[in-house]
Amino acid sequence: RKEVEQDPGPFNVPEGATVAFNCTYSNSASQSFFWYRQDCRKEPKLLMSVYSSGNEDGRFTAQLNRASQYISLLIRDSKLSDSATYLCAAKGTGGFKTIFGAGTRLFVKA
């Protein structure tokens, strides 16, 4: 079982829709959490870090639930340009290893 798991999708949504991704992690010692975005045949880039209190960046909201060991990403008012693969990641104690989930593919249609 992977240390970080997420639904691979794909999620096919129309423009303007709200879509939510969940991700679970098994290492309870994980301390930092992230969502990365990866476009086709490109490198991953940080979308946002995830804090215990939850955080928002424009149309994107990230939440962390330590008790249930999952993180979520909510995208509101989806744009065509949001089409990509979204990777969740957890960084554990000893702090240096960042482990990724397999990624969730999102297709936003006109």
Using CB under 8 A as the criterion, which residues of the chain lie in contact with other proteins when the complex forms?
2-3, 8, 32, 34, 36, 42-46, 49, 87, 89, 91, 95-103
Contact 30, 90 (CB under 8 A): yes
Contact 14, 107 (CB under 8 A): no
When the beta carbons of 17 and 22 are compared against other proteins, the nearer one is 22
When the beta carbons of 17 and 49 are compared against other proteins, the nearer one is 49
When the beta carbons of 17 and 55 are compared against other proteins, the nearer one is 55
What is the smallest separation between the CB atom of 47 and other proteins, expressed in angstroms? Answer: 10
Contact 105, 7 (CB under 8 A): no
The Cα 35–Cα 88 span in angstroms is 5
When the beta carbons of 83 and 103 are compared against other proteins, the nearer one is 103
Token pair recorded at residue 63: 């939440």
What is the smallest separation between the CB atom of 33 and other proteins, expressed in angstroms? Answer: 9
What is the smallest separation between the CB atom of 40 and other proteins, expressed in angstroms? Answer: 12
What is the smallest separation between the CB atom of 28 and other proteins, expressed in angstroms? Answer: 18
27, 72, 93 from 36: Cα distances, Å: 19, 12, 20
Q: What Rg do the C-alpha atoms of the chain give, in angstroms? A: 13
